[in-house]
């Protein structure tokens, strides 16, 4: 994922949520849970009977590797998904055209020149401009925060600013990746660097998207490893002069056509009404993009395949989508919304998985209070696999345009302990995932989508 | 560390150890513990009062980086230690000449050619020969064990054998790093690869020493990452043909002179009798060699500096040594033994720290039963810092020559949870260590060395 929807706590919602917590035993006995318990148990048993989701993800990422927007590997992966989805018997399998930005990393390197020479593993940040071909060689000013930069603003001119910021939460720490170049350029820096946004490192740099501001000079922006950022900070604390040469050949090329890839399990009564679910098929250009977010696409896809195999055809259509360009543009989510604008009211629910497919814990939901009460009943069906925690707030950036238009939305919540160890790095590979945990994600997605798609009265929007 | 001394359980020893376990409360009340409790408590308080050991290690590894035998950085680090030890007021500070082997990595790379092109991060294994300049391009046979290789011996000829062996224990798994090339060459392979010897990876290769056998053709031997080894294994399981190009420019150059570096805290009554302790100052040529084993040298050194600062001068001399060439030759340990051959009987104890300076748990001891009983009494002085577990068996490869000659020996035992995550990789950097844990290692080493060096009757050898 590139970011999360901001949580906007509202007193009214909190009050309602509290009262619902008290009503939990009632929810557990609700008619929805009773009606669908048998189907849910079948889904759980079938999902856990094999390692289909893990194997399919491994097959995909071993074949195509990572899949940055604009890359050939992304298009090959989409072609393959279309072929495979058709083989699974999904209906309306297609790629819907989306124009995506094309950022190409090029050759890049960072080298410590003073106080001693050392090659520094690095990754340019997505959207960054290049340096001149000979690189930028400059003294480094290490700061620990935006406030620290402000306090040393008069020392930054002509230097490379390094933000050595320890990982607290992703939301807090990612600000330096996104906004660091603007902050550094404002005080006269010639380039900016960050400590990779991760709590754990084996001298592994982590990339991700960054932003410029129209009114501020653009400077190159890249991530060093946790280890080297800390070392440079120690050197500065010892009073040593630090000089780094940063060389980046990044380019932003003209937009190219890519696709949102999708297929349907057509509803038996109201085929025009849709529960849409999935993840994003693009990734950063390092590692395999297995956690972020090949796994999200595959568990949604496997959920639909499983329902089909079990003969569980709901009243409404379930659509699995691999959105494109979540990482550096969000064009897939916007493109899906635009292409389906006339059918937005027929989207009864949107579900996104973009936090890794580790052990599922439940879903975070945004929608009406009465819908939330129903979703919590469905949550009781997920308790046998430990995924019954239904909370307020959630979603995902690919489904955000639908949600802004009033479609109820939810995100799959998983054990996030290790997600940011590997996020946007060479370490985002399929071996970090567990076949049984992925199978439980498939079951959770399948049950949630199936029950909502089958509810006689749908999901009330209030 | 490169390896551990093999444990040789003996029934007699086990029987004695059991009886001593029953006698633990008695040991806790022993005269040694009573005599030295006040000194031990002072050492513990002083060691934990600051981050001196961490800061000194960080200073050293940030200045000089890693320190492979034969490298300039090793010699610069040794020069710096000599200057610093003199500044600390240690006596007889010196480098004792040792000829060391010189293995140079050179340029190296591995690339997957089929089924798709992908650069594979790798590290050649220490002692390996080079490939021809154009590399070796060959089909890959993936095996899961030596037995698996034997079962597929007739498929190995002309191929690159990859040992994809999951980490169980270091002792078990490291066999493929050490002996893999010989096993692969015996069945006609043209090169061999291993899955890096680690339980945890962020696509990080881990190096280490390997061996050839005189009677077997020498082939290049290198480590891939856990991630890529597993991927190649999956590809083979899917029936895909795998081709890799391995290019290595490794060279073994003529031996060079290096040094064991040491300094003394001279004993007040029997200065010729010595407790020697330390770690190895050389490291592999990646990362900072902070855990393996800069930290071992520094905690021993800081222990002696602390005793000196506290005015705790024991009856006998305590010598801190940074042995050289532990990683790929063991010449430092042998050289120390040879240089001090005439004084071996005056070495009352040898202590090595080479398992990382994480939270200390105690010491593993090899020596007489009566000495063990005394060491266990000293252990009770370490209980306030959780380092009181004294076990049978232990030592270290640098002190092995002394131990073989009858000198009692022990190794510092620490929480080893994360040691092999970083071992011999770019991730072996000082930030993985904790100043407070290192301070407790200093206290444990200082107390053990001080009390043994001060014991009126010495340590009985039986």
Interchain contact A202–B (C-beta under 8 A): yes
Interchain contact B202–A (C-beta under 8 A): yes
Instruction: Name the residue of chain A whose CA is nearest to B65's CA.
Output: A118
- Report chain A residues whose CB lies below 8 A from the CB of B429: 203, 227, 231
* Residue A33 and residue A64 in one domain: yes
Taking each helix axis as running N to C, give the angle between helix A226-237 and helix B52-64, from 0 to 180 degrees, rounded to the nearest 10.
110
Does residue A6 lie within any of the structural domains?
Answer: no
Total domains, chain A: 2
* Pairing mode, strands B136-143 and B122-124: unpaired
* Residue A273 and residue A226 in one domain: no
Classify residue A290 as left (phi > 0), alpha (psi -120 to 50) or beta.
alpha
Interchain contact A59–B (C-beta under 8 A): yes
Tell me the nearest-neighbour CA distance from A291 into chain B, angstroms. Answer: 13
Inter-chain CB proximity B230 and A59 less than 8 Å: no
Which residue out of A273, A302, A326, A361 is catalytically annotated?
A: A326
Boundary-marking domain end, from A249, A268, A284: A249
Query: Quick one: pLDDT at residue A316?
Result: 98
* Residue A261 and residue A238 in one domain: no
Does residue B126 lie within any of the structural domains?
Answer: yes
> Which residues numbered 344-383 in A keep a CB inside 8 Å of some CB on B?
none
- CA dihedral (A166, A172, A177, A183) positive or negative: negative
Nearest to B42 by CA among B312, B434, B304, B298: B312
Q: How far is Cα A282 from Cα A289, in angstroms, rounded to an integer?
A: 8
Does residue A299 lie within any of the structural domains?
Answer: yes
Q: Are B96 and B339 in contact (CB under 8 A)?
A: yes
- Report chain B residues whose CB lies below 8 A from the CB of A204: 202-204
Does residue B359 lie within any of the structural domains?
Answer: yes
- Report chain B residues whose CB lies below 8 A from the CB of A203: 204, 287, 425-427, 429
Inter-chain CB proximity B203 and A427 less than 8 Å: yes
CA atoms within 13 A on the CB side of B341: 4
Nearest to A223 by CA among A138, A329, A126, A107: A126
Written as tens digits, the pLDDT of chain A (462 aa) is 654 433 333 333 333 444 444 444 444 457 999 999 999 999 999 999 999 999 999 999 999 999 999 999 999 999 999 999 999 999 999 999 999 999 999 999 999 999 999 999 999 999 999 999 999 999 999 999 999 999 999 999 999 999 999 999 999 999 999 999 999 999 999 999 999 999 999 999 999 999 999 999 999 999 999 999 999 999 999 999 999 999 999 999 999 999 999 999 999 999 999 999 999 999 999 999 999 999 999 999 999 999 999 999 999 999 999 999 999 999 999 999 999 999 999 999 999 999 999 999 999 999 999 999 999 999 999 999 999 999 999 999 999 999 999 999 999 999 999 999 999 999 999 999 999 999 999 999 999 999 999 999 999 997
Closest in B65, B234, B287 to A58, CB measured? B234
Does residue A460 lie within any of the structural domains?
Answer: no
> Which residues numbered 167-186 in A keep a CB inside 8 Å of some CB on B?
none
Tell me which residues of B are annotated as active site: 326
The complex scores an ipTM of 0.93
B366: which 2 tokens? 């090899």
Instruction: Name the residue of chain B whose CA is nearest to A431's CA.
Output: B227
CATH number at residue B331: 3.40.630.10
CA atoms within 13 A on the CB side of B344: 21
Mean pLDDT of B264-277: 98
Q: How far is Cα A458 from Cα A456, in angstroms, rounded to an integer?
A: 6
Integer distance in angstroms from the first to the last C-alpha of chain B? 30
Boundary-marking domain end, from A222, A249, A276: A249
Distance from the Cα of residue B441 to its chain's centroid:
15
Q: How far is Cα A385 from Cα B328, in angstroms, rounded to an integer?
A: 50
- CA dihedral (B113, B115, B118, B120) positive or negative: negative
Inter-chain CB proximity A429 and B227 less than 8 Å: yes
Query: Quick one: pLDDT at residue A30?
Result: 77
Inter-chain CB proximity A429 and B231 less than 8 Å: yes
* Residue A125 and residue A88 in one domain: no
- Report chain A residues whose CB lies below 8 A from the CB of B230: 431
Interchain contact A114–B (C-beta under 8 A): no
- Using a 10 angstrom Cβ sphere, with 0-12 exposed, 13-18 middle and 19 or more buried, the burial of residue B117 is exposed
Closest in B59, B204, B230 to A431, CB measured? B230
B396: which 2 tokens? 């270290």
| DSSP character at residue A88 | T
Task: Tell which of B107, B118, B203 to mutate to test the A interface (max A CBs under 10 Å).
Answer: B203
Query: Quick one: pLDDT at residue B249?
Result: 98
Does residue A197 lie within any of the structural domains?
Answer: yes
Q: How far is Cα B350 from Cα B330, in angstroms, rounded to an integer?
A: 16
Does residue A461 lie within any of the structural domains?
Answer: no
Instruction: Name the residue of chain B whose CA is nearest to A63's CA.
Output: B116
> Which residues numbered 62-81 in B keep a CB inside 8 Å of some CB on A?
62-65
Whether the per-residue pLDDT at B273 is higher than 70: the answer is yes
Query: Quick one: pLDDT at residue A20?
Result: 44
Does residue B459 lie within any of the structural domains?
Answer: no
Please provide residue A240's backbone torsions phi and psi, each rounded to the nearest 5 degrees. -80, 150
Residues forming a β-bridge with A253: A102
Residues forming a β-bridge with B351: B277, B410
Boundary-marking domain end, from A249, A265, A297: A249
Inter-chain CB proximity B202 and A426 less than 8 Å: yes
Q: Give me the DSSP letters along B182-236.
A: HHHHHTT-SEEEEE-S-S--SS--B--B----TTS----EEEE-HHHHHHHHHHH
Q: Give me the DSSP letters along A29-72.
A: T-HHHHHHHHHHHHHHHHHTTS-HHHHHHHHHHHHH----TT-H
* Residue A127 and residue A181 in one domain: yes
* Residue B181 and residue B224 in one domain: yes
| DSSP character at residue A206 | B
* Residue A51 and residue A70 in one domain: yes
* Residue A282 and residue A389 in one domain: yes
Mean pLDDT of chain B: 94
> pLDDT (tens digit, 9 = 90+) per residue, A198-226?
999 999 999 999 999 999 999 999 999 99
CATH number at residue A136: 3.50.30.30
> Cα dihedral angle (A211, A213, A218, A219), rounded to 10 degrees?
-50
Q: How far is Cα A44 from Cα A22, in angstroms, rounded to an integer?
A: 28
Domain holding B367, by residue range, is: 11-102+254-454
* Residue B31 and residue B142 in one domain: no
Segment holding A277, helix H or strand E: strand A270-280
* Residue B269 and residue B197 in one domain: no
Query: Quick one: pLDDT at residue A24?
Result: 43
B10: which 2 tokens? 């003996």
* Residue B288 and residue B426 in one domain: yes
* Residue A258 and residue A383 in one domain: yes
Inter-chain CB proximity A431 and B115 less than 8 Å: no
């Amino acid at each position: 994922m590139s970011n999360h929807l901001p949580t906007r706590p509202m007193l009214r919602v909190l009050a309602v949520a509290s009262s619902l917590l008290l009503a939990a035993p009632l929810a557990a006995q609700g008619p929805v849970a009773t009606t669908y318990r048998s189907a849910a148990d079948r889904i759980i048993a079938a999902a856990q009977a094999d390692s289909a989701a893990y194997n399919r993800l491994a097959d995909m990422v071993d074949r195509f590797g990572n899949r940055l927007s604009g890359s050939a590997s992304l298009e090959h992966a989409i072609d393959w998904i279309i072929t495979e989805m058709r083989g699974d018997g999904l209906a309306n399998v297609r790629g819907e055209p989306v124009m995506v930005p094309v950022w190409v990393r090029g050759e890049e390197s960072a080298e410590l020149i003073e106080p001693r020479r050392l090659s520094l593993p690095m990754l340019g940040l997505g959207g960054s401009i290049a340096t001149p071909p000979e690189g930028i060689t400059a003294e480094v000013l290490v700061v620990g925060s935006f406030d620290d930069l402000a306090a040393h603003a008069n020392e930054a001119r002509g230097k490379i600013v390094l933000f050595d910021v320890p990982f607290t939460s992703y939301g807090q720490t990612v600000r330096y990746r996104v906004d660091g170049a603007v902050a550094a350029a404002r005080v006269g820096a010639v380039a900016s660097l960050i400590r990779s946004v991760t709590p754990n490192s084996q001298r592994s740099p982590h990339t991700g998207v960054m932003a410029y501001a129209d009114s501020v000079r653009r400077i190159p922006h890249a991530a060093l490893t946790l280890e080297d950022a800390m070392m440079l900070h120690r050197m500065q604390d010892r009073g040593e002069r630090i000089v780094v040469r940063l060389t980046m050949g990044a380019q932003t090329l003209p937009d190219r056509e890519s696709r949102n890839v999708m297929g349907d399990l057509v509803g038996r009564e109201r085929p025009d009404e849709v529960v849409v679910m999935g993840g994003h098929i693009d990734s950063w250009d390092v590692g395999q993009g297995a956690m972020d977010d090949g796994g999200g696409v595959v568990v949604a896809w496997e959920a639909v395949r499983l329902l089909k195999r079990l003969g569980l055809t709901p009243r409404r259509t379930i659509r699995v989508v691999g959105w494109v360009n979540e990482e550096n543009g969000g064009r897939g989510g916007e493109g899906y919304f635009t292409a389906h604008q006339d059918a937005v009211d027929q989207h009864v629910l949107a579900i996104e998985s973009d936090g890794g497919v580790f052990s599922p814990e439940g879903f975070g939901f945004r929608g009406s209070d009465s819908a939330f009460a129903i979703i919590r009943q469905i949550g009781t069906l997920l308790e046998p696999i430990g995924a019954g925690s239904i909370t307020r707030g959630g979603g995902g950036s690919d489904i955000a345009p639908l949600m802004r238009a009033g479609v109820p939305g939810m995100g799959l919540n998983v054990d996030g302990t290790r997600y940011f160890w590997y996020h946007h790095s060479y370490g985002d590979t399929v071996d970090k995932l567990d076949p049984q945990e992925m199978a439980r994600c498939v079951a959770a997605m399948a049950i949630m989508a199936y029950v909502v798609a089958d509810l006689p009265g749908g999901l009330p929007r209030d």
